[in-house]
Structure 1
Amino acid sequence: MGYIRQYYNTIIAIMSTNRRVFIRNTGLAAVAAGLGAMVPLELLAGIKKAVSPNDKIGIGVIGLKGMGWSDLSSMLKIPETQCVAVCDIDDSILQQRLADLAKLSPMKPAVYKDYRKLLQNKDVDVVIVGTPDHWHCLQMIDACAAGKDVYCEKPLANSIFEVQLMVKAAARYNRMVQAGQWQRSQRHFKDAIAYAQSGKLGRISSTKTWMYRGGSTALPVVPNSPVPAGVDYNMWLGPTKKRPFNKNRFHYEFRWFWDYAGGLMTDWGVHLIDIVLMGMKAEAPKSVMATGGKFVFPDDARETPDLQTTLYDFGSFQMSWEHNLATGVGLYNMQHGIAFIGENGTLLLNRGGWEVRPEKNKIEAVPWTKSVDNGLNLHTANFIDVVKSRKKADLHCPVEAAATVAIASHMGNIAVRTGQKIYWDQAKNQFNTPAATQLVKPVYQNGWKLPAI
């Protein structure tokens, strides 16, 4: 650890000379992204203390249990940042995270159960939206309207229409908005995409994406029950249908119910399909068809398919998506992944690394190249750098890119829910069938209204 401590001392010495210039020009976010995984917490705390209060970026986080906490923990590795406000509808989660934060910083953040009050806090510069999907649209737009920059978890929202509103809101309020698709910040994904676009694979007419989530178990059907103490359940439901409390629909398991999310198609699909769209420079598909349902656990509590295959036609190429809760042995013997299948060979890619397998020795093989960096740390660092620079073009996953892949993923779910081959009319913002078009725009309830942008 000697070299790390020496590096830390060098940072402090330079910052002591001119803190503001150092922060603006070198980007301590990048320093934290590179060292955050191995620098002791006391050293990171020391670096934070050396940053002038005038240079601090105040973070407020909405939704603290899962990725909201992961995003905050990553962002707090950046010396300029400090957590000034937290919000969650569950007192037990709030108390747990306040205890966790106390280990990182002596500063006590303001605590809220209503996100709208957090947005009124003038010390909050940046908002992390880590809530279930059905809340993303309202909270992101309200944060932008309040003058905050936003780091929003994926998928961007729970419907096509909400996604489109969020793009308009970011532009209207001129805010920096990054989606949590952190694979875009990893070196090996960038290298693989560059190879796919190099022409070495020849014509790419087929691409594949998949997630085989082996180890899953049935979600047993359980009766409704009283709302747990300390939980503001009405706020958790927000604009969705009023229902009695059921633990199967709460916290992590929300992702298996259409009111709140889109199952594996939007949970993992946005990550993997995103890489195909980048590699192929594609946007909306011409048509989508899908098959799927409750085949693995037919009698469990989930609504979303546990087995699904979706086929996209982009005109010049096609893409398939597969997910399966029964096995962890997926295509090409990879649990999850992306395949660019060209005339000369196939590029295979996942979070672990990438390789190229030649077709009849037409090109040289590229051996498996492992991932060596921390995508989440790099992604949050990129966001904070852009918050400072105001250069939106530097965002690794701006709201427009997140919208494109979220829309494609929702199209896959709409195709499987309607059982129809669907065609998208971009000019009319609708599908070719009423049943599919009906699923484009959600109906907000309980007094909540879709924002007017």
Structure 2
Amino acid sequence: MTNSRRKFISSATAIVAGASISTVFPSTLSAFPKLSSPADTIRIGAIGVNGMGWSDLTAILKNPGVECVALCDVDKNVLDKRAAELAAKGMKVKTYADYRELLKDKNIDAVVIGSPDHWHCLMMVEACQAGKDVYVEKPIGNSIAECRAMVAAQKKSGRVVQVGQWQRSQKHFRDAMDFVHSGKLGKIRLVKVWSYFSWVTPISKLPDGTPPAGVDYNMWLGPAPKRPFNPNRFHFNFRWFWDYAGGLMTDWGVHLLDYALLGMKAEIPNSIMAAGGKFANPDSGAETPDTLTTVYEFGDFNIQWEHAIGIDDGPYNRQHGIAFIGNNGTLVLDRNGWEVIPEGKKMEAVALQKSSDNGLDLHAKNFIEVVRSRKLEDLHAPVQVGADIAIFSQMGNIAFRTGKKLYWDKQKGLFTDAAANKFIAKEYHNGYKIPSV
């Protein structure tokens, strides 16, 4: 991490004073390996086990010498279901409705945080303060200020913190970066990054109602504004509301834009502009845009993000991907593999190099290995990586929400626009405060 990039996260420290869409991993538990001696066993507690939190825990438990000892979820229906699934595999766990009680458990060495995005910061910071190592889902924070607080908390505590950007552990992604950095593509002028998903459909407006039986709705809201319960805002669909998340930009964007930055060895954009809206369904019950184009300018190249909910056919006939467009050819990369499409006869084509491994399993293994070794430099997605890309994605959302072309003051760690700076920190509610580290 370069000094300038560190300043991007750590500057303006006075400001300091959110499950995933991915469905590629099964939620069923395979047989667990036998544990090592009790003294060597890493004991895991999981907070938020409905979606990716459960997938993360499942992957972590595939490693020898690891066991789950506690689960926490505000939805008792989910909590009881997951506890029963673990019991069927021979793991009896304590269950909690309040994550703070789980963090008090001295029998827990590390926690998995799979809560909605608006809870990530408080849970991760408090877990570090409680002496736990942490595997936290992406995006790491729900605002720029939260990301800064989380970086500071990890630095102060020295705990192992792995962010759930599991593509950082996949071989074909690393191989693609090696090719991009080889220079064979020639001058790269544009990097296109996209997510087109027909399996995500615009949600219809629903009336407010009563929380389902067994759900502690006040705890689910936590630091978010107090609002009547609405099924649109609960479980999977929370990601389409600004109170809790940032739409596809911060959900898939942190995965894919991360590799755009990595491939270009890029840090801070000169400017950011964005346009979009609820074009697929103007009457959708969601707040975040179903269609969005964002352009990050870097002086001699641009990174362009685009997403479209309800459509499958994205660029290069791929639902999602990253295209490094060079003078000699274009490298196209997604979760299935990568290939090179030549520009005329300027270079040789490279046939599809297919993915050959399980990124989530490898990411979980990397986390456990570092928990044992304490070699933080070996983490594939440490807290700084997660903060960098979460902030980058949030910049795009802020440009959309202000409707302005934005510029970043590297020295102050602020936008040059006052209206944009109001989005740097989210207001906390219901007696909660953003952590002061």
Query: TM tier, shorter chain?
Result: over 0.9
The residue number in structure 2 matching 1:30 is none
Which residues of 2 match residues 51-450 of structure 1 at below 5 A?
A: 51-104=36-89, 106-450=90-434
How far off is 1:215 after superposition? 3.6
Conserved? CA contact 1:164–1:403, under 8 Å? yes
Conserved? CA contact 1:63–1:88, under 8 Å? yes
Structure 2 unaligned spans of 5+:
1-24
How far off is 1:216 after superposition? 3.4
Conserved? CA contact 2:198–2:310, under 8 Å? yes
Counterpart of 1:62, as a letter, is I
How far off is 1:261 after superposition? 0.3
Distance 2:428 2:100 in 1: 17
Counterpart of 2:281, as a letter, is F
Distance 1:85 1:427 in 2: 44
Structure 1 unaligned spans of 5+:
1-35
Out of 196-205 and 299-308, give the one that drifted further: 196-205
Counterpart of 2:212, as a letter, is P
Distance 2:146 2:406 in 1: 20
How far off is 1:103 after superposition? 2.4
Counterpart of 2:224, as a letter, is T
Conserved? CA contact 2:69–2:92, under 8 Å? yes
Out of 213-222 and 421-430, give the one that drifted further: 213-222
Conserved? CA contact 1:210–1:322, under 8 Å? yes
| 1:45-92 superposed Cα distances (whole Å, 9 cap, x missing partner) | 4x33xx111110010110010000000001000111100111000100
How far off is 1:108 after superposition? 1.1
Out of 281-290 and 147-156, give the one that drifted further: 281-290
Out of 359-368 and 113-122, give the one that drifted further: 359-368
Conserved? CA contact 1:60–1:124, under 8 Å? yes
- TM-score with structure 2 setting the length: 0.92
How far off is 1:41 after superposition? 4.5
| 1:342-366 superposed Cα distances (whole Å, 9 cap, x missing partner) | 1111000000010011112222111
Distance 2:214 2:410 in 1: 45
| 1:209-242 superposed Cα distances (whole Å, 9 cap, x missing partner) | 0001124333121111112211111110000100
Conserved? CA contact 2:195–2:314, under 8 Å? yes
Out of 241-250 and 95-104, give the one that drifted further: 95-104
Counterpart of 1:86, as a letter, is L
How far off is 1:316 after superposition? 3.3
- TM-score with structure 1 setting the length: 0.89
- Identical residues among aligned pairs (%): 57
Distance 1:190 1:84 in 2: 34
How far off is 1:426 after superposition? 2.4
Out of 271-280 and 421-430, give the one that drifted further: 421-430
Larger relative contact order (Cα-Cα within 8 Å, sequence gap ≥ 6): 2
| SS of residue paired to 1:289 | strand
- Kindly indicate which of the two structures has a greater share of residues assigned to helix: 1
Counterpart of 2:56, as a letter, is D
How far off is 1:315 after superposition? 2.5
| SS of residue paired to 1:308 | strand
Distance 2:381 2:169 in 1: 8
How far off is 1:303 after superposition? 0.3
| SS of residue paired to 2:249 | helix
| 1:139-188 superposed Cα distances (whole Å, 9 cap, x missing partner) | 00000001111100000111011001101110000011110000110110
Conserved? CA contact 1:284–1:404, under 8 Å? no
| SS of residue paired to 1:151 | strand
Distance 2:267 2:124 in 1: 23
Distance 2:30 2:238 in 1: 33
The residue number in structure 2 matching 1:9 is none
| SS of residue paired to 1:290 | strand
How far off is 1:278 after superposition? 1.0
* Largest Rg, 1 or 2: 1
Distance 1:274 1:317 in 2: 16
Distance 1:178 1:446 in 2: 29
Out of 209-218 and 232-241, give the one that drifted further: 209-218
Conserved? CA contact 2:193–2:305, under 8 Å? yes
How far off is 1:326 after superposition? 3.0
Conserved? CA contact 2:190–2:302, under 8 Å? yes
| SS of residue paired to 1:341 | strand
The residue number in structure 2 matching 1:3 is none
Distance 2:231 2:198 in 1: 23
* Count of equivalent residues: 411
Counterpart of 1:75, as a letter, is I
Q: Which runs of 4+ in 1 moved over 2 A?
A: 215-218
| 1:389-414 superposed Cα distances (whole Å, 9 cap, x missing partner) | 11111100011011111011000100
Alignment root-mean-square deviation, CA? 1.4
